Amino acid sequence: MAINRNTEDSWNALDPEALARHVLRRHHFEETMPVPIIDVCLAEGIRAVRQATFRDPAVSGMIRYVGDGHVIYVRATDPPARQRFTIAHELGHYLLQIRGVRDNTELNAIERGNVEALYRRAGQVDDEERAANAFAASLLMPAPILRKLGDTYKPRVLAGFLAVSEEALRIRLRSFA
């Protein structure tokens, strides 16, 4: 897969944690709590983020090329913390697997509106899904903030500051152990 990077960028586009740090730094959100995920999406080229109802109850989000740009859809009935993680996860797919690819038959099908190529079922875990999850966790729960505040606040309080679920925060904190 081709990776679209500007020559002045020094981050590793294949490392979700490094990419998340780069995105936060580029938009000056590295110390912002909570990370303004909608603003990040728009700054990264996502045209819109919309709430949706999916026929399949196992689907929590998706990204689709619509008209003149990519739109992230998130399940309307999910709690706000879950929606934020889903949005960051879909942004991860966009940055890690979609944006830099151009001469790819699958992407061309996606851009013509073939949703199936980007459709992910809950519970399906492959390398792309793990990378998107790692990106989302790194973006919404930046390592420097966790190192600075992780021992000071209880997980419930810190999760509130970061606008993430306590479960997502505990999983992220375990990655530092």
* Number of separate domains in the chain: 1
Is residue 1 in some structural domain? no
Does 74 have pLDDT greater than 90?
yes
Report pLDDT for 177: 64
Residue 112's domain comprises: 16-174
- Higher pLDDT among residues 4 and 15, named by residue: 15
Does 155 have pLDDT greater than 90?
yes
Report pLDDT for 116: 40
Q: What is the mean pLDDT of the chain?
A: 81
Does 135 have pLDDT greater than 90?
yes
Report pLDDT for 125: 60
Does 109 have pLDDT greater than 50?
no
Is residue 169 in some structural domain? yes
Does 123 have pLDDT greater than 80?
no
Task: Give, to the nearest 10 degrees, the angle between helix 166-174 and helix 127-140.
Answer: 100
The DSSP bridge partners found for residue 74 are 51, 61
- Please provide the size of the chain in residues: 177
Overall average pLDDT of the 37-56 stretch: 94
The DSSP bridge partners found for residue 75 are 52
Overall average pLDDT of the 44-63 stretch: 92
- The set of long-range contacts for 56-59, using a CB threshold of 8 Å and a minimum separation of 24, is 56/121, 58/121, 58/122, 58/123, 59/119, 59/120, 59/121, 59/122
Under the banding of pLDDT at 50, 70 and 90, the label for residue 128 is confident
Using alpha carbons only, how large is the chain's radius of gyration in Å?
Answer: 16
Is residue 6 in some structural domain? no
Instruction: Kindly report the pTM of this predicted structure.
Output: 0.80
CA distance 14 to 95: 10
Under the banding of pLDDT at 50, 70 and 90, the label for residue 100 is low
Is residue 5 in some structural domain? no
DSSP, collapsed to helix, strand or coil, labels residue 97 as helix
